[in-house]
Amino acid sequence: MTEHVTLDLGDGTVRGLQADGCLSFQGVPYAAPPTGERRWRAPLPVEPWAGVRDATVPGNRAPQSAQSFAEATSLDEDCLTLKVTVPETSRAGRPVLVWLHGGGGTNGDTSTFDARRLALTADLIVVEPTFRLGVLACFGHPGLADGGTFGLLDQQAALRWVRREIERFGGDPATVTLAGSSYGASMVAAHLVSPASAGLFHRAIMQSPFAVGGATPANAFIPGVPALPPRWRPLAELAEFGAATAAERGWVAPGSDTESALAQLRRVPVADLLEVSVDFIRPAFGGPVLPEPPAEAIAAGRFHRVPVLLGTTLDEARFFVGLFADLTGNPVTAESYPRLLAEAFGDAAGEVAGNYPLDRFATPSLAWSRISTDRAWARPAWELAGLLAAHTATWFYEFADRDAPPILPIPGFPGGAVHSSELPYQFDIPGGPPPSTARRELGDVMNRYWGAFAENGDPARDGLAAWPGFGAGHVQSLAPQGVGYTDYATEHRLDFWARTP
């Protein structure tokens, strides 16, 4: 039975829903709309409202265009809201998990996954903010304050909202876990080193972070894509690129001074801006929000010393090779395989081929998927965990259910434990098929681990398999056939990759 429930917040009263064992409040503003003259500015406080604000339906998605992996679109910049999911059983001081969605930095929103299963099984409060994406999050231009960090600033505003308001929901503002998947996981890494994020969260979870550290070789993310730099971009470089883009698009009149140029840019239609959104997904460092690249700061021990849980999936890259190569009619072939190797690894191509011979794989695309998984996902995540573990308690996992339901089914291409395939085990997907018994049981185990970590800073929990820390070299395999140690380094040939570009 669904019922309405109201709650008084600092800015006004909201009306949410009580159903299926949880209270849910959606579209709750945590900052003022970043519209008009507020475009590309740090978020401002919410204006209090009179009466009761409806919080029974999702807030607006951040502006985004449809992609092959995400059909949703939006042109509405009034998007700085969040969703709160709370177990209905009364309990004061519940731990809080703030979830940053993925989507490549250009897409995603809070309606993709239903957090009730996570909230109930883990016995915590889940807060899911919507934040600016793409060109509205990571644009830079000469004279633009905070260029390249508007998405990070939004997330910090959401964390400050949690600190102010979460006790009204029964949550503990001193027990906040910042968690994210894919792009959201990379943003968690940024918050680990951002000075303004200090004290806003107390544990961190990174599920399949990408490119937090060094560059990714050509083709190792997607066949045909050149080498990718680290996730972070120097602020001066971004400002120069933003100015060149604005001039090329005719968004700024030639000869405009800085103030006039920014005023013109704030009047450009959102639909026009989104045409270049994919070029602005790398947060900028060199300013007060992100003074230095997270990889460098973490390597030097200059980060917020909170416990960290991170990991990857067994077959991360199958998602990208299947979606962007095979599905487009351009699979990796025996003929293209040597060329891809040479472009990616230069003089080491022959040695890579010797470690990944085509006769060990059903198709060349699966061979390339394994190379990409090992080099672009497993190696950087392993190295990141080592840097973190030198200074703080760290736990590492691998999601390894090769029978996971495909996120995006690709005819004729084996799915496996691909990128983001663990999420339907932790969340429910609105409109998706109900989970199998084995899938639900594994998801419950994962959520219980996540809940223990959120509450205690350690995933250990009675009734679950032991999970030693990464400092002991332990990686926890999460699979229906068994949960426990896996030899991750051998499985992903990390000794080989440690000496290979």
> Which residues are known to be catalytic?
182, 316, 419
**pLDDT tens track for 279-296:** 999 999 999 999 999 999
485 pLDDT tier (thresholds 50, 70, 90):
very high
Question: For position 71, what pLDDT does the model report?
Answer: 83
**With 90 as the cut, is the pLDDT of residue 242 above it?**
yes
Instruction: Give the total residue count for the chain.
Output: 501
Enumerate the domain spans of the chain: 3-21+29-65+76-329+369-497
What pLDDT is stored for residue 393 in this prediction?
98
Percent residues over pLDDT 70 in the chain? 100
Structure tokens at 435: 């989970």
Mean pLDDT of the chain: 96
CA-based torsion, 318, 324, 328, 331: positive or negative: negative
Bridge partners of 233? 284
The predicted-structure confidence for 320-331, as pLDDT tens digits, reads as follows 999 999 999 999
pLDDT given for residue 411 in this prediction: 86
* CATH number belonging to domain 3-21+29-65+76-329+369-497: 3.40.50.1820
Tell me what pLDDT residue 61 has.
97
Separation between Cα atoms, residue 121 and residue 449, nearest integer Å: 10
The pLDDT confidence band at residue 432, using thresholds 50, 70 and 90, is: confident
pLDDT at 214 > cutoff 90: no
Query: How many whole angstroms separate alpha carbon 70 and alpha carbon 176?
Result: 29
Six-digit token string for 212: 């937090």
Residue 433 pLDDT exceeds 80: no
pLDDT (average), residues 229-237? 96
> Can you give the pLDDT at residue 68?
78
pLDDT at 430: 84
pLDDT value for 431: 78
Tokens of 173: 């503002």
Q: Which residue, among 140, 308, 304, has the nearest Cα to 237 in the 3D structure?
A: 140
Question: How do residues 380-410 score in pLDDT, each as one tens digit?
Answer: 999 999 999 999 999 999 999 999 988 788 8
- What's residue 490's pLDDT? 98
Q: How far apart are CA 443 and CA 449, in angstroms?
A: 10
Residue 458 predicted with pLDDT over 90:
yes
Average pLDDT over residues 148-160: 98
> In this structure, are strands 308-313 and 394-399 parallel, antiparallel, or unpaired?
parallel
- What the block records as the tokens of 499 is 């000496």
Cα–Cα distance, 210 to 141 (Å, whole number): 26
d(CA 237, CA 71): 31
CA quadruple 332, 336, 337, 342: dihedral positive or negative?
Answer: negative
Stretch 132-156: mean pLDDT, rounded? 98
DSSP three-state, residue 212: coil
A 10 A CB-CB count for 386 gives: 15
**46-82 pLDDT, tens per residue?**
999 999 999 999 999 999 998 877 788 999 999 999 9
The alpha carbon of residue 109 and the mean position of all alpha carbons in its chain are separated, in whole angstroms, by 11
Structure tokens belonging to residue 139:
């644009």
For residue 200, what are its two tokens?
Answer: 């806003």
Task: Report the 10 Å Cβ neighbour count for 42.
Answer: 17
Name the β-bridge partners of 271.
none
**207/211 Cα distance (integer angstroms):** 13
Q: What is the mean pLDDT of residues 100-128?
A: 96
- Percent residues over pLDDT 90 in the chain: 92
Over residues 243-269, mean pLDDT: 97
Per-residue pLDDT averaged across 437-445, rounded? 95
Residue 168, phi then psi, degrees to nearest 5:
-65, -25
Q: What is the reported pLDDT for 168?
A: 98
DSSP characters over 132-187: --HHHHH---TT-TTTT-HHHHHHHHHHHHHHHHGGGGTEEEEEEEEEEETHHHHH
| Mean pLDDT value of segment 27-56 | 98
User: Which amino acid, one-letter code, is at 403?
Assistant: D
Q: pLDDT band for position 434 (50/70/90)? A: confident
362 pLDDT band, cuts 50/70/90, is very high
Radius of gyration of the chain (CA): 22
